[in-house]
Amino acid sequence: MSNPEKLRYTKEHEWLSDVVDGVATVGITEFAANALGDVVYAQLPEVGETVTEGETCGELESTKSVSDLYSPVSGEIVEANQDVVDDPALVNTAPFEGGWLFKVRLSEEPKDALSFEEYTKLTAGN
């Protein structure tokens, strides 16, 4: 599995991009996408909504289960990926690219984000 080195991660298997003009992009990792199986439904937070680091902000439904989506950062949603709402399989096929989930204008720096090395170590045993 190839987690991009430039991203930051969470224990709940979300990834977080570099912050550009105060805005970061959020998705779930390939590890999470594989564990879920085929994603068939994505409920994403809405533009304008305020999310809090570590709290649920949506859900991802796969053939066998439904999983809460946690926000890895606190801030205001500035965009939700409509492509994923229309075609949830993008989360499986391109988790780090076209399958991104939402963009957040950060209100503070994330406290619990993991580095590439820390996340790789976390998932290595699996």
Residues that bind another protein (CB under 8 A): 34, 37-38, 40-41, 61, 63-64, 66, 89, 92
Q: Of 6 and 64, which CB lies nearer to another protein in the complex structure?
A: 64
CA 101 to CA 2: how far, in whole Å?
19
Total Cβ atoms within 10 A of residue 19: 17
Q: How far is the CB of 67 from another protein (least distance, A)?
A: 12
CA 91 to CA 2: how far, in whole Å?
15
Q: Of 68 and 109, which CB lies nearer to another protein in the complex structure?
A: 68
Total Cβ atoms within 10 A of residue 26: 25
Overall size of the chain counted in residues: 126
> Which residue in 35, 28, 24, 30 sits closest to 10, CA to CA?
28
Q: Which amino acid is at 82?
A: Q
Q: How far is the CB of 60 from another protein (least distance, A)?
A: 11
Q: How far is the CB of 91 from another protein (least distance, A)?
A: 12
Q: How far is the CB of 106 from another protein (least distance, A)?
A: 29
Q: Which amino acid is at 126?
A: N
Q: Of 38 and 79, which CB lies nearer to another protein in the complex structure?
A: 38
Q: Of 33 and 114, which CB lies nearer to another protein in the complex structure?
A: 33
